[in-house]
Amino acid sequence: MTVDYQPLGDGVVQITLNRPERLNALDGQAKRELAEAWARAAADQQARAIVLRGAGDKAFCAGSDLKEIQATGEAVASALLARALPDVGLDLNKPVVAALHGHTLGLGISLAIHCDFRIARPDTRFSFPEVRHGMLSGFSAITLPSLIGEAAALDIMLSARSFDAEEALALGLINRIAQDPHAAAIELATQLAGHSAKAMEWSKTLLLADRKRRLQQHMALVDQARQDVMLYR
């Protein structure tokens, strides 16, 4: 297994991207496992808040496994990718806290921005490198402008430039910086799990209703874009 699901107690479960030898880059199998983990968390009556982290000290997630894509010439189906992102392909009306560190690239940022809280270590480095590789982050292209604004989203997605945690905080991409984001994420998730589960569920549903509507409205367009980009790589 390259994605671990671990109950931590007090209503908190932890999902770990556990492929540190590949900087937690996600191949097709890992994306399937991640989709299964989100579905398990959604159905888990004991889970009231979720922490997402990456194993090892070097990376939260370095994105999709480019070696696999180069070898096969294919990317996973859009429906599977949507299910691998929290609250995109499957309703997940429980708060998700991402603990970020090191390389947080491409699909790694996509995972983070579809979580509800993002806490980053000072050394976290972000970038959307897809355009350099003939790829794109389709779902993030729909979500990101509402999070940080259209101009900033265009800047970081089209330039593919790298930026640090301080800039991510200034942009509104992350909520805070912490020396130990994992501990901070567990602390926050424990606090959230102590709130009324039904009130949290409805609050998240209402807060993200417009984002979910946009994602559902543009699901076919994202799929068309991903297929067209892969065709002309």
Three-state secondary structure call for residue 48: coil
Q: Using CA atoms, how far apart are residues 162 and 164, in angstroms rounded to an integer?
A: 7
Please list the residues that pair with 117 across neighbouring strands: 97
Q: Which amino acid is at 185?
A: A
Angle at 81 between CA 114 and CA 112, to 5 degrees: 25
Counting every residue, how long is the chain? 233
Q: Between 138-148 and 150-159, two packed helices, what is the crossing angle to 10 degrees?
A: 140
Q: Using CA atoms, how far apart are residues 152 and 109, in angstroms rounded to an integer?
A: 14
Which of the following is catalytic: 130, 166, 187, 201?
130
Annotated active-site residue 130? The verdict is: yes
Are the C-beta atoms of residues 74 and 230 closer than 8 Å to each other? yes
Three-state secondary structure call for residue 49: strand
Q: Between 138-148 and 219-231, two packed helices, what is the crossing angle to 10 degrees?
A: 120
Q: Using CA atoms, how far apart are residues 40 and 71, in angstroms rounded to an integer?
A: 31
Are the C-beta atoms of residues 88 and 142 closer than 8 Å to each other? no
Just list the catalytic residues. 130
